[in-house]
Amino acid sequence: MMDDATLLALAEELLPGAGFFGGTEDFALSLDINETVDRVEIAVASGLPGYLNLRTLLFYDRDGVPLDRAALLRSAVLSTIQGAASPEEIFRRVLAGGTICSERQVFPTLTIEFQAPAGIGRIVIFNRGDLSCHRSKYLTCTAFHLDEAVYHYVNLSAESLLFEVRALLALCDLLPERLVSHESQGNIVKVVHAALQERIEREHLDWTPRRLAALMPVFVATEVATEFQTSLCASIMLSLCGDNDYCETRRLAPLQGILSTGSSIARMTREAGRLIEKRGGLPRTFLAGKHRIQESALERDRDLFLSALDAVFPLMRQMGVEAMVCYGTLLGAVREHRFLPHDDDVDILYVDGSRSREEAHRRRAELITCLAAAGFWTHDNNENFHVAIGGAVIDVFPCWMADGRLTLMMENYRYRDVAAEIILPTSTIALYDRIYPAPADPAGLLVERYGEGWTTSNPYHEWPWRLSGKEESPPPGARRTRATSP
């Protein structure tokens, strides 16, 4: 029979991501409190110097209704503060859902006091969004009422590891009492992984994304993911798709340690297609884009999107607006005369004569009203906006002219100016068998937007997290000048 020390050593192999929680809703730490509470203490209790470094805290009542932090909280005090932030600033950050970070110390603690005792159903804790999330794996949370602890949670301990590894072995019909201490740890790991792989393929492993992530070394960047890790990532991706035929790419960011290269991401998408077939579904080919991982919707519904462009360009011209294809759509047209396989939307830029950001916003609102009146579905994103007809959605971007330069949205959703002669007067370009308006100097705009390497395909350009090796995006904007946040 295996003793506890042997089981803990085995847990290090089977659960390298034990204690993991992430910075997105799917991977956040959700604690069921269900108590009347007037104080909460959140700490890191590793026994060694460390940081308490969290992104956001959410509070819910017993009916699952979100509670307003400003109305709920009286104070939030961090035991030490990294940097120059004041205690008042820390409280403001907690109220606003901002990031907090202590100095490196033993048992760093955030103490939150409520305005009055409140019935708390759940607290959701969001971690950092990068590999430094390992700082919080020994997190504890204690809720108090009238100075009495009414709830206590320990995220990672020897006891929790023993519980998890025993449950994992039992799931795979490997009861610890039947295993001898000298049995090969490597053989046990292989048997467990094979059993879990079979359950994944049959869709019989109904675990949360966070629990699946604990089976992987998510706290470090892995250059080459194993087949088992790739299958786990694919299973998580499919679970995040839900009833949709796509997964928002950012939702996989907590797995960036495993998905640290473009090749790892490509293997995951292929594995997702294989799992669907293995589970009896129709063959599907997923493509990874910076916004979504999905089948190539643009290629699949090509005629629908082209018809939408055919409808919107003449209408905008009638409204006195000079519109043209831009960004990813322009890149695909110039480089391949088609939509980019990994792209997930159609982009157009328009020039309406605006001379300032304020004027561009005012005219944009008028344009949206006119397009809606003409029968287009519209959605305002505050900066760019979407129009749709027949189910095909087009991303529409404004710009404005000042001092012979046009200011338009560029990398990372930031505005900066380019020489007006790059954009005007418009030229034309072929996209499939159609001819559409384009910037005066398409190559010039593509260099500005994507950098000198724009002629080489890079589906991982501006990826939501940093990728290692050659897939990492080159710096765009070879002729960059001033930049403005949207």
d(CA 443, CA 476): 13
Q: What is the pLDDT of residue 180?
A: 55
Model confidence at 480: pLDDT above 70 = no
Strand-pairing partners, residue 50, are 105
Residue pair 294/343 in contact (Cβ under 8 Å)? The answer is no
Residue pair 23/250 in contact (Cβ under 8 Å)? The answer is no
Which residues does 242 contact at the CB level (< 8 Å), separation at least 6?
A: none
DSSP class of 68: P
Burial class (CB in 10 A: 0-12, 13-18, 19+), 281: exposed
SS3 95: helix
Owner of token pair 């000298």: 182
- Structure tokens given for 247: 């997964």
To which H or E segment does residue 311 belong? helix 302-318
- Of 80, 12, 13, 16, the C-alpha closest to 44 is 80
- Structure tokens given for 88: 């008042």
Mean pLDDT confidence for 86-103: 97
Which residues does 61 contact at the CB level (< 8 Å), separation at least 6?
A: 67, 118, 119, 120, 121
Q: What are phi and psi of 426, to 5 degrees?
A: -70, 150
Residue pair 293/259 in contact (Cβ under 8 Å)? The answer is no
d(CA 57, CA 404): 47
Mean pLDDT of the chain: 91
Q: What is the pLDDT of residue 422?
A: 96
d(CA 162, CA 10): 10
- Structure tokens given for 161: 């590891």
Within 10 Å of residue 180's Cβ, how many Cβ atoms?
8
The structural architecture, per CATH, of the domain 297-484 is: 2-Layer Sandwich (3.30)
The secondary structure of 410-457 as a DSSP string is -GGG-EEEEEHHHHSS-EEEEETTEEEEE-SSHHHHHHHHH-GGGGS-
pLDDT tens digits for 402-424? 988 999 999 878 899 999 999 99
Residues in the chain: 486
pLDDT tens digits for 4-41? 998 999 999 999 999 999 999 999 999 999 999 999 99
pTM recorded for the entire structure = 0.78
- Of 134, 211, 190, 164, the C-alpha closest to 7 is 164
Mean pLDDT confidence for 242-257: 93
Amino acid at 297: A
pLDDT tens digits for 337-351? 999 887 878 999 999
485 confidence band (pLDDT: 50, 70, 90) = very low
Q: What is the pLDDT of residue 382?
A: 74
- Of 235, 226, 302, 320, the C-alpha closest to 271 is 235
pLDDT tens digits for 191-233? 999 999 999 999 888 899 999 999 999 999 988 889 999 999 9
For the chain, the domains span 20-155, 162-294, 297-484
Model confidence at 178: pLDDT above 70 = no
- Of 252, 270, 251, the C-alpha closest to 216 is 252
Within 10 Å of residue 425's Cβ, how many Cβ atoms?
11
Mean pLDDT confidence for 302-323: 94
Which residues does 294 contact at the CB level (< 8 Å), separation at least 6?
A: 245, 246, 247, 286, 287, 344
Which residues does 393 contact at the CB level (< 8 Å), separation at least 6?
A: 345, 346, 386, 387
The secondary structure of 349-392 as a DSSP string is EEE----SHHHHHHHHHHHHHHHHHTT-EEEE-SSSEEEEETTE
Residue pair 272/286 in contact (Cβ under 8 Å)? The answer is yes
pLDDT tens digits for 320-333? 999 999 999 999 99
- Looking at per-residue pLDDT, the higher value among 456 and 359 belongs to 359
Burial class (CB in 10 A: 0-12, 13-18, 19+), 82: middle
483 φ/ψ sector (left φ>0, alpha ψ -120 to 50, else beta): beta
Alpha helix (H) ranges present in 15-65? none
